Structure 1
Amino acid sequence: MKIGLISDTHGSSIAFEKAEAILKNCDVILHGGDILYHGPRNPLPDGYDPQKLSHILNNLEQPIYMVQGNCDSKVDQMVLNKPILSPFFHTNLDNLNILLLHGEDYNEIDLVQLAKDYNVKCVITGHTHIPVIKEVEGILLINPGSPSIPKTEDKVPTIGLIDTEENKVQIISNDDKTIKKVYHLY
């Protein structure tokens, strides 16, 4: 199973369209929040068009599950036909227990404890706009970064991909599809 990971699109239809070129073969997409609004602390991203992005998200062929980020609100839900107003999404995809949340109120210790509380192997967050793949106490912590407003030193926009058949997680550049990081699940 291929699981697409994206977060912090912040209303950029262009960034999502580039990501969609990579994620089109995924069975499911998980979005870590901050979907449509750029937020008052962020610049307007290239291709800022929340209305167009909502149309794209509403018409995806594969399922997408989204959680509420700190920039998401009830008005965003009014234009999306998939729920976003939950701060957590807990699922099992191809025998991989996953907890998805935006994560703005959680540090690494908190995330590991949440994983233990929910009995999950993998916690996926957003918020920081910085890609991470890290194992702590047997828990895999993943942040796909941001395809629209990257906050890494090199400012490379990123998304993530979990491939349960190949047992790996990748962080991929949203611009040129370069694999930035790889982690093997087993």
Structure 2
Amino acid sequence: MKIGVISDTHGSLFYTKKALEKLGKCDKIIHLGDVLYHGPRNPVHETYKPKELAEFLKRLDIIYIRGNCDSDVDCMVTEADIYTKERFLDFGEVKIYAVHGYEESLDERVKRAKEFGADTLLFGHSHIKVMDNIDGINVINPGSTTLPKDGTNSCAVYQDGKWEFIEL
């Protein structure tokens, strides 16, 4: 199974397309939130095209998590379920607890992943890549496709039983 993970696209059609292109054919794509709006703390970047991104995303089968910059109107214009703040996803070989990651501490997220019986915690929000193992839980933040705070636009992929980053 191949699972692509993107987060914090913040309205960039260019970087979203680039991430999906780099990921290639995936069985599932998960978006960890902050889909269209650039947010009040972020600059309006030169690739900011939320209307065009919404139209592009309508054609794709993506599992979404609601981020702190996502709103009801984002769900309407993408025609997607961006209402859910957390999801447990059981893909057999990998069990994922996914959340944007702005309302709770990392310890609370790990605890919640354990409660769901997940082996992997996916979260976004910080715009900083994380790949760790805490108490037997794989902890993955793919960073930001659009506004990285660690210097590199990125996403993540699960394939052949392992997680890795893809730099854009």
Q: TM-score range by the shorter chain?
A: over 0.9
Count the aligned residue pairs.
168
Any gaps of 5 or more consecutive residues in structure 1?
175-186
| CA positional deviation for 1:150 | 0.3
- 1:171 is matched with 165
Secondary structure in 2 matching 1:171: strand
| CA positional deviation for 1:55 | 1.3
What amino acid is the match of 1:21? E
**In structure 1, how many angstroms separate the alpha carbons of the residues matched to 2:92 and 2:141?**
20
| CA positional deviation for 1:46 | 3.1
Task: Give % identity.
Answer: 39
Task: Check whether the contact 1:10–1:45 (CA below 8 A) recurs between aligned residues.
Answer: no
- 1:148 is matched with 146
Secondary structure in 2 matching 1:18: helix
**In structure 2, how many angstroms separate the alpha carbons of the residues matched to 1:74 and 1:170?**
32
Any gaps of 5 or more consecutive residues in structure 2?
none
What amino acid is the match of 1:170? E
Q: Please give the per-residue CA displacement for 1:97-149, whole angstroms capped at 9, x wherever unaligned.
A: 11111010222211111011111111100000001111000011110000100
**In structure 2, how many angstroms separate the alpha carbons of the residues matched to 1:94 and 1:23?**
21
Secondary structure in 2 matching 1:79: helix
Secondary structure in 2 matching 1:72: coil
- For 1:16-95, what aligned pairs fall within 5 Å after superposition? 16-60=16-60, 63-95=61-93
TM-score w.r.t. the length of structure 1 is 0.87
Structure 1 segments of 4+ aligned residues over 3 angstroms from their partners: none
| CA positional deviation for 1:23 | 2.2
Secondary structure in 1 matching 2:78: coil
**In structure 2, how many angstroms separate the alpha carbons of the residues matched to 1:71 and 1:34?**
5
